[in-house]
């Protein structure tokens, strides 16, 4: 089997398995008594030989479930528990209704309580793929960060954290995480630059925090004196609530990145500005985070007034010359579309405590499992030798973190067409809505925000052709403040690469710090002129200060 065929086969297999696992997550399979006969020993007593003992109704009690986290559990854990607090697949056991005039049906042992998950070393004996012989046991240590929620990761490293919820115009409830100041600072009324970090496809706010503090963007910006806000788009682990719908409803998942651009960004940006009492913020996006901001700036021209500067990491607009899994996604678009039409609107690649545990075990650094590294590189690009491979289990435990099937189909349409367009519902729908067979492409010439681009030839998704052949050509050059082409950065290196701080984050810190200093000077001058005009309405204007405001 050739490599592309193998990749395609593995991709579809993983997707189908995850769909089955998600559907069966909270289901208890019941079997008849006859099903167990083959497991009974041949000399087992028959039902007729057993003495009749009137059954007694057992006293009801809760299962002895020991959670991983202290009460109350974090958001990420609450989603993987039933409403009664039991682990998925285990519920309160009640004795079947019995009749004293008939012998009792054969009973089976009550399921044991869900065991406390291990927090210390244990052994995992792997099998050799060639000889199927037992190899020496491998010690596996579960990394605590793999099982933590975002607030727990932040407090784990000694930083303050706050959590906010905002509601979109179409009813989705989104979660924002905030690091208001650095680890070695205290709360003050000091005016700080407000920085909003937005994740990419299938990710959460965790992506900015999964390296050591000196290497993670969220912590680096907080220690630089910024007020850091981390967004979560609809459908991921932290944003699965709605005012009127349940996330198990198909209608809930009827969205793509187009709805995220129309509704999610506006709700989060407005919420941040409302809390901080500021008029503008600095936006830092990665991958889909940049795609949604480009679309929002085109859809709502007035939205640009809320964005002081736009830093685009691995910017996505047109998906041209993509490689790896996204190339396979475009090549198999007809099959994906057919499958989507068969299953309807559902969640794609969800994240829960079981996927986190499994991933952390399989991708443990001592296991040296090549599948984990291969999965990352098939999505993002070749190994650039700057990924901290001891933390791959943590990266993959938190991501993928869920999105909609419709969103994945939208990406497949982008790869297939090579265009940045709204979701294509078909020729008939497009003719009624747009008067043409396909939706019109987003016009990036309408983007009017100071833009800083960071991209690389080694990125298999946000390719150089997509950046140089579309973004840089379409946007007015007076708004392109920086276009930095990095060497050997794959798509995930912008987040987790060991060179990311020096080549990206420190550059952003310097730009924001200088700009914020300029803003404070201008704000002081503005207040001075306003106070002067109020005290002396007939006084002459200060042309020097007025010119300073215009710069």
**Structural domains of the chain sorted by starting position, each given as residue range(s) with its CATH number in brackets:** 149-514 (3.40.50.1820), 518-550 (no CATH)
Secondary structure letter of residue 71 according to DSSP: S
State whether residue 308 is helix, strand or coil.
Answer: strand
Q: Cis peptide before 72, with omega less than 30 degrees from 0?
A: yes
State whether residue 90 is helix, strand or coil.
Answer: coil
Neighbouring residues of 472: CB distance < 8 A, sequence distance ≥ 6: 453, 480, 483
Neighbouring residues of 487: CB distance < 8 A, sequence distance ≥ 6: 456, 457, 458
Q: Cis peptide before 522, with omega less than 30 degrees from 0?
A: no
State whether residue 165 is helix, strand or coil.
Answer: strand
Q: 179 and 252 in contact (C-beta within 8 Å)?
A: no
Structural tokens at position 115: 């065991």
CA distance 452 to 472: 11
Structural tokens at position 59: 């006293």
Q: 78 and 85 in contact (C-beta within 8 Å)?
A: no
Q: Match 């736009």 to its residue by tokens.
A: 310
CA distance 528 to 283: 29
- The pLDDT, as a whole number, for residue 502 is 98
The Cα-based distances of 359 to 121, 257, 464 in angstroms read: 16, 27, 32
Structural tokens at position 473: 């050509």
One-character DSSP codes across 330-394: HHTHHHHHHHHHHH-S-EES---HHHHHHHHHHT-TTT--HHHHHHHHHHH-S--S-B-GGGHHH
- What dihedral angle (degrees, nearest 10) is formed by the CA atoms of 263, 216, 225, 289? -20
Handedness of CA 221, 227, 232, 238 (dihedral sign): positive
- The pLDDT, as a whole number, for residue 538 is 58
State whether residue 547 is helix, strand or coil.
Answer: helix
CA distance 209 to 224: 15
CA distance 197 to 512: 14
Angle (CA) 247 252 258, round 5°: 130
Q: Which residues are catalytic?
A: 287, 459, 491
The Cα-based distances of 388 to 216, 223, 395, 455, 481 in angstroms read: 12, 22, 10, 20, 31
In 183-269, the DSSP E strands lie at 194-198, 227-230, 241-242
Q: Choose among 332, 219, 289: nearest CA to 454.
A: 289
Strands 172-179 and 241-242 turn out to be: antiparallel
Q: 280 and 250 in contact (C-beta within 8 Å)?
A: no
State the chain's maximal CA–CA distance in angstroms.
112
- The pLDDT, as a whole number, for residue 27 is 40
- Along the 551 residues of the chain, how does pLDDT read in single tens digits? 445 444 555 555 555 555 554 544 444 333 444 444 444 445 545 444 445 555 444 444 433 333 434 444 444 433 333 333 333 443 333 444 444 444 555 555 554 444 444 443 433 334 334 433 343 444 556 789 999 999 999 999 999 999 999 999 999 999 999 999 999 898 888 899 999 999 999 999 999 999 999 999 999 999 999 999 999 999 999 999 999 999 999 999 999 999 999 999 999 999 999 999 999 999 999 999 999 999 999 999 999 999 999 999 999 999 999 999 999 999 999 999 999 999 999 999 999 888 888 887 888 766 667 888 888 999 999 998 999 999 999 999 999 999 999 999 999 999 999 999 999 999 999 999 889 999 999 999 999 999 999 999 999 999 999 999 999 999 999 999 999 999 999 999 999 999 999 999 999 999 999 999 999 888 888 888 878 777 766 555 566 556 655 65
């Amino acid at each position: 089997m050739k490599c592309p065929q193998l990749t395609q086969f593995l991709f579809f297999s993983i997707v189908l398995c995850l769909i089955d696992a998600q559907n069966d997550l909270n289901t208890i399979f019941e079997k008849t008594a006859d099903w167990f006969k083959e497991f009974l020993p041949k000399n087992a007593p028959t039902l007729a030989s057993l003495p009749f003992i009137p059954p007694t109704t057992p006293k009801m009690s809760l299962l002895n479930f020991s959670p991983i986290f202290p009460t109350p559990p974090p958001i990420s854990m609450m989603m993987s528990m039933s409403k009664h607090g039991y682990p998925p697949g285990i519920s309160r056991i009640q004795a079947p209704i019995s009749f004293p005039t008939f012998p009792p049906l054969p009973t089976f042992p009550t399921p044991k309580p869900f065991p406390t998950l291990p927090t210390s070393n244990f052994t995992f004996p792997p099998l050799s793929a060639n000889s199927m012989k037992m190899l020496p046991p491998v010690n596996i240590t579960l990394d605590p960060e793999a099982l933590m929620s975002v607030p727990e990761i932040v407090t784990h490293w000694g930083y303050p954290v706050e959590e906010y919820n905002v509601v979109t115009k179409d009813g989705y409830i989104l979660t924002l995480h905030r690091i208001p100041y650095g680890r070695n600072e205290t709360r003050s009324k000091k005016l700080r630059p407000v920085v909003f970090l937005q994740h990419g496809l299938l990710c959460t706010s965790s992506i900015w925090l999964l390296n050591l503090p000196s290497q993670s963007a969220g912590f680096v910006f907080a220690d630089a004196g910024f007020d850091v806000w981390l967004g979560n788009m609809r459908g991921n682990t932290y944003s699965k609530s709605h005012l009127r719908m349940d996330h198990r409803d198909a209608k809930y998942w009827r969205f793509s990145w187009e709805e995220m651009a129309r509704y999610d960004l506006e709700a989060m940006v407005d919420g941040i500005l409302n809390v901080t009492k500021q008029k503008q913020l600095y936006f830092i996006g990665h991958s889909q985070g940049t795609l949604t901001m480009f679309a929002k700036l085109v859809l709502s021209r007035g939205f640009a007034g809320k964005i002081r500067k736009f830093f685009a990491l691995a910017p996505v607009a047109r998906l041209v010359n993509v490689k790896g899994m996204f190339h396979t996604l475009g090549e198999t678009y007809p099959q994906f579309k057919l499958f989507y039409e068969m299953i309807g609107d559902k969640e794609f690649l969800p994240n829960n405590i079981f996927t986190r545990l499994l991933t952390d075990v399989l991708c443990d650094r001592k296991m040296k499992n090549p599948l984990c590294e291969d999965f990352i590189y098939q999505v993002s690009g070749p190994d650039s030798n700057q990924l901290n491979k001891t933390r791959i289990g943590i990266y993959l435990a938190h991501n993928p973190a869920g999105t909609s099937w419709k969103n994945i189909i939208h990406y497949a349409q982008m790869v297939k067409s090579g265009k940045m367009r709204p979701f294509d519902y078909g020729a008939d729908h497009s003719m009624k809505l747009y008067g043409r067979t396909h939706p019109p492409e987003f016009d990036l010439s309408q983007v009017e925000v100071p833009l800083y681009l960071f991209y690389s030839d080694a990125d298999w998704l946000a390719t150089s052709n997509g950046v140089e052949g579309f973004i840089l050509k379409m946007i007015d050059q007076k708004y392109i403040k920086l276009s930095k082409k990095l060497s050997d950065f794959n798509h995930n290196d912008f987040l987790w690469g060991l060179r990311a701080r020096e080549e990206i984050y420190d550059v952003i810190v310097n730009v924001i710090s200088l700009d914020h200093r300029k803003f404070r000077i201008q704000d002081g001058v503005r207040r001075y002129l306003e106070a002067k005009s109020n005290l002396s309405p007939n006084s002459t204007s200060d042309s020097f200060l007025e010119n300073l405001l215009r710069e």
